[in-house]
Amino acid sequence: MFPRCPLQLAVAIVALVAAPAMAHDPESSMQHAQGTFDVKLAAQPSAPGIEAAALGRQTIDKRFHGDLDGSSLGEMLAVMDRATGSGAYVALERVTGTLGGKHGSFVLMHSATMTRGTPALAVTVVPDSGTDELAGLSGTLVIHIDAKGGHSYTFDYSMPTE
């Protein structure tokens, strides 16, 4: 049985995943952004009629600082078995702000699993979700949490060539 425990699962997965940032490749349009962010997660009730699924639901409210300057709002669904340390979360968040001097919005999709304490996390830009000057944006964001609980990100992305 997987009791609801989304905050602990999300923090555990993100804290344990360590992926090196991709280096900038001058032969491609790949760019690199980095900075910090503040996040507020707020528990929400289950959608009516699905309470028996025992899924945890939370809202996401972030503020990004650094090469990505903006904010995001989103939602997360999660499940975790405390006895085995296994679980998963999925989330979508719409980011609005400035990236590399270009303003617009885009959607990030989180997909994470924890298999008996071993995490796997992917955060990618939803294809064709970019608006305004960020239209055509693609990329992968990596979340880092330091020993004191501070959040930072590295974001490898590309924009269509003009």
Domain with residue 109: its CATH number is 2.40.350.10
Model pTM greater than 0.85? Answer: no
Residue 23 tokens read as 């280096």
Assign residue 132 a region (left: φ > 0; alpha: ψ between -120 and 50; beta: otherwise): left
CA distance 123 to 72: 14
- What does residue 52 show for φ and ψ, rounded to 5 degrees? -65, -20
- 74-112 pLDDT, tens digit per residue, is 999 999 998 998 999 999 999 999 999 999 999 999 999
Residue 50 domain flag: no
β-partners of residue 118 are: 115
| CA 109 – CA 76 distance, rounded (Å) | 10
Residue-number span of the structural domain to which 149 is assigned? 6-18+31-44+56-158
The total number of structural domains that make up the chain: 1
Closest Cα partner for 127 from 153, 157, 148, 99?
157
* Residue 10 scores a pLDDT above 70: no
